[in-house]
Amino acid sequence: MADSSTKPVTNGTMGIASRPVQAALDQAGIVLNGPNPWDIQIKDESMLLRLLTGGSLALGESYMDGKWEVEQLDEMIHRLLRSPLAQKSSYLPQLWMRLMAILFNLQKQSRAFQVGQEHYDLGNDIYETMLDRRMVYTCGYWRNADTLDQAQEDKLELVCRKLDLKPGMRVLDIGCGWGSFAEYAAGKYGCEVVGVTVSKEQVELAEERCAGLPVSFRLQDYRAVREQFDAIVSLGMFEHVGHKNYRTFMEVLLRCMKPESLAMLHTIGKNNSLPGVDPWIARYIFPNGEIPSLRRISHALEPELMVEDLHNFGPDYDRTLMSWYRNFDAGWEKLRDRYSERFYRMWTYYLQVCAGAFRARDLQLWQFVLSLGNSPTTYRRPDF
């Protein structure tokens, strides 16, 4: 684990910048250099001035720089997001990200491969260390599970049952990751699966993991797919589509679905329809990403696609992310020769901040089952 020998600055020695910062944190029950595990311990008081103008971007960058510590980062974020302070964010970086999202298509086809290169191609060793044995990089389903491996297998089973997969079906996996769904659907349900991703590293490892199965993988943007399939699944890829392209994504589903096909859209969601994304996440984790809202998704679906089922199990992502963090932290010794201590702090911040956001119900996890509305019978969600 990353460490620092710098001692926290005491309350008595902090400058005038601590007063407005503490006044804001009082709304969340967080104390600078306080005794609770969610209290911020200041190691360099210059970070306080940055916070006054830089908001979440400054908070994350100063953590990466080792200027503050907290024992329970996830709980600190949970408390911040559940407080009135979260409703008052008007910092310049947040406003700039919203303006950029309004004015420009940050997820146009020429930018499609950037997130693959900068996030998913970081190194398979990170993901092999952090994820479950199937390497599923989306929310687990914890209803009947006690371990991450079981939660992810149950999620894959849930998806297959919702799509009513049968042997011989040809299935499209948009954003296929390292082949976890393709391997499961082909191995257990006898399906033929075509996976598309913008990550070169994912294609290479997915092909290795699925050798011998009726599965193929393409380094391809989703907008280039034009064949028809018996079922379509997209697990955790829609967060990269962007609101200017939501209708384009749905048009891909429409041209690739057969009259009786079902499609599964599994995506993180947010509670408002404001454009843009957290500036720290955009700069350091997911370039050009954007979390959708229900209103924006619903508008993009109209009028051809029918919502057969909508399932929210957002709190399960808190538990998934904390499992990923514990795996990453426990395996850091194997990774530290290749990655910096600053990377360790960045990845720690990413996983725990996201866990806190789901715990606060600031973020959701939605699974939509979509159809063309051609079935005369009522769709029934599997009881699993």
Concatenated DSSP letters of 306-321 = EEEEEEE-THHHHHHH
- Reference 384, options 150, 212, 163, 144; nearest CA is 144
> Which phi and psi angles does 302 have, rounded to 5°?
-70, 145
* CB-CB contact of 283 with 106 (8 Å): no
Strand-pair category, 306-312 with 257-270: unpaired
* CB-CB contact of 72 with 29 (8 Å): no
| Residue 247: how many other CB atoms lie within 10 Å | 14
Catalytic residue, candidates 139, 176, 210, 354: 354
The half-sphere exposure of 12 on its side-chain side, counting CA atoms within 13 A, is 0
**Cα–Cα distances in angstroms (integers) from residue 143 to residues 80, 146, 147, 230, 365, in the given order:** 27, 9, 11, 28, 14
The C-alpha atoms of residue 83 and residue 86 are separated, in whole angstroms, by 6
The C-alpha atoms of residue 384 and residue 382 are separated, in whole angstroms, by 6
* CB-CB contact of 279 with 250 (8 Å): no
- Reference 217, options 292, 116, 288, 286; nearest CA is 116
Q: DSSP letter at 231?
A: E
Residue 193, classed as helix, strand or coil, is: strand
CA angle 121, 127, 129 (to 5 degrees): 145
Query: Does residue 354 have an active-site annotation?
Result: yes
* CB-CB contact of 358 with 366 (8 Å): no
* CB-CB contact of 107 with 242 (8 Å): yes
The C-alpha atoms of residue 20 and residue 32 are separated, in whole angstroms, by 11
**Cα–Cα distances in angstroms (integers) from residue 137 to residues 17, 83, 133, 148, 151, in the given order:** 40, 29, 11, 11, 12
> Which phi and psi angles does 262 have, rounded to 5°?
-115, 150
Strand-pair category, 257-270 with 363-371: antiparallel
Catalytic residues: 354
